[in-house]
Amino acid sequence: MTTPDFVLAPERQHRSSGSSSSRRRKRRRRIIFHSIFWPLLALLIIGSGLAAWWLATSALAVRDDLEVARAQVVAFQKAADERRFEELQPIADELDAAASSAAAPTSNPVWRMAELVPGVGENVRAVRIIAEGVDDVSQQVVQPASGLVGEFGISRDESGALDLEPLRTATDIAADAQDILDGLEADLAGIDTDATIAPVSDAVTQFADVVESAQGTLPGINAALAGAGAMLGIDGPQTVLLAFENNAEATALGGGPAAQTLLSVDDGTVKIDRQVSSTELDTQAPIGTEIDESADQLYNDILRTEINATTSRPDFPTAAALLRARWDRDLGITPNTVVMTDPIAVSRILEVTGPVSLPGGEQLTSDNVVSKLLNEIYFRYPEGGAESDAYFAAASAAMFDKMMAGDYDIWQMAQALIDVTNSGSLMMWTENEPTQDLFAGSRLDGTLPQTNLGATVLGVYFRDRSISKIDYYLHTGAKVTVDTCTPEAPTYTVEVTLRMDIPADLQFSLPEYIDSREPGAYRTEVFLYGPAGGSTTEVAVPNPANGTTTGPSVIDLGRPAEKYTVDMVNGQTAVVRATFAGTPDDAPVEVRTTPMINRTGVELVEATCG
């Protein structure tokens, strides 16, 4: 039997070459392309009979339903972004109706049989995967999420414990979303786009991009939900060590964690068990925790001996291990979870909660909390000691009570926590491995990426070595020149500027606790990290200020790391520089820095090729 002549093909080609080609170009940015179905119909009508007629009619119906679904997805995202939560359920219902209608024909045996037809089947299969994917997302993610999001809030049971059911539900929805997107990603990757017509190939590519984009946001969502669960004891009783960094004594992760609070959490019940200052911990005997040799080389023995140097390395698991080991050795307690934050994060959070009151009536606000906790307190209590420790303890307890009261907009708080996490001022580690795994890929885990997938991350970090709280007055900046003129061998030149800027009326009257152990002379260490898998090609000191030394140069955390020791006096500027060679798979540059009181300005410059 000979194959019938495909008499409609020329006509379809003629029709699609005119005005429809313009429509196709305009709609190519859409997830589901209006234009893929006409060429697909031309391929499907290879014979006569009811099956071919049904398949063609169904393809048109699927096209229309997916167009409606696409519009509803856009509307849902916009309403969610604008927090018009009352509109989410009606939009979700319309999306569900369209998505279900689109997916229904693709499960019919006729559709599935068409997937086996040479020259046609891969096109039909691709459309089915897209339709089923939209339906799965609608039913298992959008529908349940729309019902939850408008009601999500903070409530307590009769015992005063927080109700964790909304958190459990949200966690389950996010887990389902991850499973669905993982499956879709694999299915789309399995489509042979060499065997599909161009519009279908383009649709597959665009839909894969959407899935990839969603995959990029899910780790942060899952990490946030897992972190909230760990902080509230969703998996049962545990101890949480909450460490507050002092950014006036800078380290890579933020500052010395001299003020620490131990929490007991269990199924929504959270209480303060103990507040500890560095004076209660042995700061002389080294911690025996196993650490990479490269870390010992860069950060020397104080990483293990001095509590305020615990956060020297830009790797929160290292800091968490050292803190847990210190608590175990000195206090006989091994916290299950370690959380670290700083007054910079508190300032952002107070924008949402409003001011907190301390005993005696003093208020901490978003505008004054950094200054009061990191500078003014040392003028008030020049010797530090018990009085300043008591002040920090009172401030910590007041802020904790304010957070736990829940008298604020939960969505504004969620955004604030996202902001401080992305700026490096909130990190978390837990011994619960499934929960810790959910932190991977988010800034919450406080690590540098092991690859350059998605972003080529460079690091600019500082550590105070004046034994002071002088970094309240330190100003820093970084200029990064990206040279991709030879794509297979990109380079990154990182130039860092430091300037000590103490007001003239304070220069000779700073409290001893703020000023250096050698008054008027200040030492800061700078650590520059290159791209994962890269190497260092140049180390330079364009301006040594009062004296700058370099080294060691090591490979730390899977990337080249350079150390500079900079000595300055007030008013001086120092400049250090390193150039790193990257790898051919490098992505757009992202620069991470120590969260400084005076934020490190970062300038990205593209090298001129010529």
At a CB cut-off of 8 Å and minimum separation 6, what does 197 contact? Answer: 36, 39, 40, 43, 123
Low-confidence winner among 189-203, 413-427, 481-495 (lowest mean pLDDT) = 189-203
Backbone angles phi, psi at 252, to 5 degrees: -55, -45
Low-confidence winner among 165-174, 179-188, 193-202, 598-607 (lowest mean pLDDT) = 193-202
At 386, is the pLDDT very low, low, confident or very high (cuts 50, 70, 90)?
confident
In this structure, are 285 and 138 located in the same domain?
Answer: no
- Taking alpha carbons only, the member of 429, 446, 414 closest to residue 595 is 446
Q: What is the mean pLDDT of the chain?
A: 86
Rg (CA), the chain: 29
Residue 184 lies in a domain: yes
Looking at residue 37, its pLDDT comes to: 58
Contact 522, 567 (CB under 8 A): yes
In this structure, are 251 and 134 located in the same domain?
Answer: no
Residue 597 lies in a domain: yes
Amino acid at 427: M
At 52, is the pLDDT very low, low, confident or very high (cuts 50, 70, 90)?
low
pLDDT tens digits, residue range 523-548? Answer: 999 999 999 999 999 999 999 999 99
Residue 3 lies in a domain: no
Alpha-carbon distances of 266 from 159, 161, 261, 467, 573, rounded to whole Å: 12, 9, 16, 39, 51
- Taking alpha carbons only, the member of 258, 243, 241 closest to residue 464 is 258
Percent of the chain surpassing pLDDT 70 = 90
Q: What domain range includes position 462? A: 448-606
Neighbour order of strands in the sheet with 456-464:
547-556, 559-569, 521-529, 456-464, 589-593
Q: What is the DSSP string of 267-315?
A: TTEEEEEEEE-GGGS--SSPP-----HHHHHHH-THHHH-GGGTT-SS-
384-402 mean pLDDT: 85
Strands (DSSP E) found in 432-500: 456-464, 474-483, 491-500
Looking at residue 33, its pLDDT comes to: 46
User: Is residue 486 exposed (0-12), middle (13-18) or buried (19+ Cβ within 10 Å)?
Assistant: exposed
Which of 434, 468, 489 finishes a domain?
A: 434
In this structure, are 145 and 190 located in the same domain?
Answer: yes
315-319 mean pLDDT: 97
The kind and range of the H/E element at 386 are helix 385-405
Residue 439 lies in a domain: no
Pairing of strands 337-341, 426-430: antiparallel
The kind and range of the H/E element at 553 are strand 547-556
At 70, is the pLDDT very low, low, confident or very high (cuts 50, 70, 90)?
confident
> What are 128's two structure tokens?
């089915």
In this structure, are 73 and 147 located in the same domain?
Answer: yes
In this structure, are 243 and 227 located in the same domain?
Answer: no
Examine the pLDDT at 163 and tell me if it is beyond 90: no
- Any idea what DSSP says for residue 521? E
> What are 512's two structure tokens?
């001893």
Looking at residue 46, its pLDDT comes to: 45
- Taking alpha carbons only, the member of 76, 129, 83, 73 closest to residue 102 is 129
In this structure, are 90 and 187 located in the same domain?
Answer: yes
509-516 mean pLDDT: 88
In this structure, are 44 and 177 located in the same domain?
Answer: yes
What's the structural domain count of the chain? 3
Examine the pLDDT at 194 and tell me if it is beyond 60: yes
Residue 440 lies in a domain: no
Give 525 or 382, the one with higher predicted confidence.
525
Give 282 or 557, the one with higher predicted confidence.
557
128-137 mean pLDDT: 89
Looking at residue 28, its pLDDT comes to: 54
In this structure, are 419 and 309 located in the same domain?
Answer: yes
Question: Alpha-carbon distance 14 to 8, whole Å?
Answer: 10
In this structure, are 243 and 344 located in the same domain?
Answer: yes
> What are 29's two structure tokens?
């940015």
Query: Other CB atoms closer than 10 Å to residue 512's CB: what's the count?
Result: 13
Question: Alpha-carbon distance 207 to 13, whole Å?
Answer: 25
Question: Alpha-carbon distance 498 to 206, whole Å?
Answer: 45
Give 416 or 73, the one with higher predicted confidence.
416
> What are 494's two structure tokens?
């990182």
SS3 state at 459: strand
Contact 474, 599 (CB under 8 A): no
Amino acid at 514: I
Neighbour order of strands in the sheet with 573-581:
535-543, 573-581, 491-500, 474-483, 601-606
In this structure, are 499 and 542 located in the same domain?
Answer: yes
Which range of 45-59, 70-84, 164-178 scores highest in mean pLDDT? It is 164-178
Which of 434, 458, 486 finishes a domain?
A: 434
Looking at residue 1, its pLDDT comes to: 42
Residue 53 lies in a domain: yes
Looking at residue 54, its pLDDT comes to: 62
Which range of 105-119, 144-158, 327-341 scores highest in mean pLDDT? It is 327-341
Examine the pLDDT at 31 and tell me if it is beyond 60: no
Examine the pLDDT at 410 and tell me if it is beyond 80: yes
Which range of 275-279, 403-407, 436-440, 563-567 scores highest in mean pLDDT? It is 563-567
Helix 37-44 and helix 121-137, axial crossing angle in degrees, nearest 10: 130
Examine the pLDDT at 23 and tell me if it is beyond 70: no
Contact 441, 503 (CB under 8 A): no
Question: Alpha-carbon distance 540 to 178, whole Å?
Answer: 46
* Displacement of CA 315 from its chain's centroid (Å): 15
Residue 529 lies in a domain: yes
In this structure, are 469 and 402 located in the same domain?
Answer: no
- Any idea what DSSP says for residue 106? G
Examine the pLDDT at 447 and tell me if it is beyond 80: yes
Question: Alpha-carbon distance 447 to 429, whole Å?
Answer: 11
Pairing of strands 474-483, 535-543: unpaired
Q: Is the dihedral of CA 200, 201, 207, 211 positive or negative?
A: positive
Residue 488 lies in a domain: yes
- Taking alpha carbons only, the member of 360, 366, 320 closest to residue 346 is 366
Question: Alpha-carbon distance 422 to 220, whole Å?
Answer: 10
Question: Alpha-carbon distance 70 to 143, whole Å?
Answer: 15
114-134 mean pLDDT: 85
Question: Alpha-carbon distance 497 to 480, whole Å?
Answer: 12
479-486 mean pLDDT: 95
SS3 state at 552: strand
471-487 mean pLDDT: 96
Region of residue 72 (left: phi > 0; alpha: psi -120 to 50; beta: else): alpha
Which of 194, 216, 231 finishes a domain?
A: 231
Give 130 or 50, the one with higher predicted confidence.
130
Amino acid at 306: E
Question: Alpha-carbon distance 73 to 81, whole Å?
Answer: 12
Which range of 56-65, 284-293, 533-542 scores highest in mean pLDDT? It is 533-542
Q: What CATH number corresponds to the domain at position 460?
A: 2.60.40.1170
In this structure, are 154 and 264 located in the same domain?
Answer: no
At 72, is the pLDDT very low, low, confident or very high (cuts 50, 70, 90)?
confident
Question: Alpha-carbon distance 426 to 443, whole Å?
Answer: 8
